[in-house]
Structure 1
Amino acid sequence: MEQNKRKKHLFAFLTLCVAALTVTTSCESEYTTVYNDIPGDTLYVSGDAYIKSFTVQEFEDQQPMQAAIVNDTIKVLWVSYYEMPENITPSITLADHASISPNPGTPVPFKTGQKYTVTSQAGTTRQYTLQVDFRQPQPKTFTAITKGNLGQWHNLTIGKYNNLDNVWFNLEQTRVYLVSAADQTTEYDCEIVYFGTGMGSGSPFRDAGIYFYFPTDVPEGKYDVRIKNGEYILRASNEQYWFETEITESEETAISSFINNLTVASGDTFSIRGTNLDDVDSVSVAIGNTGARYPLEIVTRTPYVATFKVPAGTPAAEYTRLFFVDGAEEKMIAFKLTVTE
């Protein structure tokens, strides 16, 4: 994956920079050796209290990150290819015979201001302060979404399909939203349901990317789709599509592709999301297109969310079709629902 190549190059570059910086500063950190005269003998005790190296590696596929020791500061450059951990357990090399607190094997908060105290064999001390320098490469923009429906589900995957790349996989620092074309100011949030590196085959979130729902409470019209990721705001890669995403009310009954393979006991309820779910008279399940149909009880519904009850006595089975009937019209949707006793 192109993003992985860039990660390796960036990590190599940062390592070289940090190594050079460390070489230029570590010599200034040494203390003069202390000589303690004891009657009848002379004991030579080291007074060196400094850190030689400070290395962070919190993920198996992460290259070790060498911190720069600058005077009394431990500088760690952290890039957004990896989620920033709450705590770290660094590998620390000290001057001979020195000790450090907290102990290198003790997890410490990964935030600027964390203190370390190095004590020499002679008892002299030196305090260091951790400084976290966060670096976020600029993400790539994405292929435009030209149209959609209220409450509809969309995804922007990483790589060749949508061109989105270099994103920081941090949900708390990410927002998908619409900006109204009418005034180019009013914003509406989209609901993110998954944002990550992908969950593999069989999952509705198979590929790496961001999966979200359009809001249901916005006026029909044109909008600009945007993603705020860390310090960057992403828009469609082609400016001609800015404020050209047409969002309307759907006239078609559909079920969100983010929902699949539900399991429910006979007599219990389950909920689905979709569009136009309130415009049907009855709903039933079946195995395949021609299998026997078993009705579901409609408990509650809106155009976008519906809750159904599996009536007691419905045979336990793995059903693969939902049938929505509206008068003479019928809509069949592939949907996996496992009913247990």
Structure 2
Amino acid sequence: MNRLYKIYTGIAVGCTVLFGACKTEYPDLPYAEIETFTIEDAHGDPLQAVIKGDEIIIYWTPLEDEPETIRPVITLSEGASISPASGEVVPYSASTKYTVTAQDGSRKTYTFRPEGGQPIPYLNSINNTEININGVVALLGDYFLPDADKTKVYLMAGEQEYELTEFRRFTNSSIHSVIPITTELDTGYYDVKLVTGRYTLMAGQQIHLNAPTLSTLLDRTKLPPTTINPGQTFSVYFTHEQALKFYQEDDFIARMEYSDNTPVRNFDPQVTFVSATEVQMTIPTDIATGSAYFVLATTGSILNVIGQSVTIE
């Protein structure tokens, strides 16, 4: 009996040693990889990120508004964990970072890189470099965001920067900006800056602002009389209070073009600035009578301010 007991005991001990020797200790896994990173695009469809090195790159839906936040669904290497967690709301921003911790405690940090849906824009040309202050500057190119909240046009001279806020045309390839008459803008040379989405573009050429065209600012409800007497004094009125300030140093010239064989008469209209919107002039006492076409112009711009048919009695 004792012998049999010893045999059984020996077998049991042997088996214990055998099974103990067969047990394998597995080390913790060292993998800290993001395998998939998925968000919803502008239309609610799945959008898969590109995982490149330690970057999570999202190529957003072209020309669609980018979100402020996202809620990614993330899959990881076996045994790994991530912070912020999968499904957690995070900013759609390059400041967003993820830390993946492997099972063995090693870590890897990923940086979120939104590439956006806007192709890289370019500014090809400006329609004209000589522009009147009440005129329009046209910027031509492509891939502008046609949204005044996301695309801004600026005129720059030294430390001065002025934003143009009125547009005649606004598309992804053409922006026509009105240059207003304002106390902040004067004649001279300006650089043109275009900010559209995440991109800032500078025009390759400067524009030269000239004085506003007075004929477009003429108050046509107060035109000079159509019947004029020699020696008569009358006024011409304008619709904008800033218009005449550009012409304070200019001379005005006038002429009468007669419908018969009477020679053209050029004369000094003796212009006086009465107010910010009114100039006064005088017809010579020896002006010839008859039907004529009256023209008032400035010597600086050589542009007609007014032209109308009159009768001189």
TM-score with structure 1 setting the length? 0.41
Q: Highest Rg: 1 or 2? A: 2
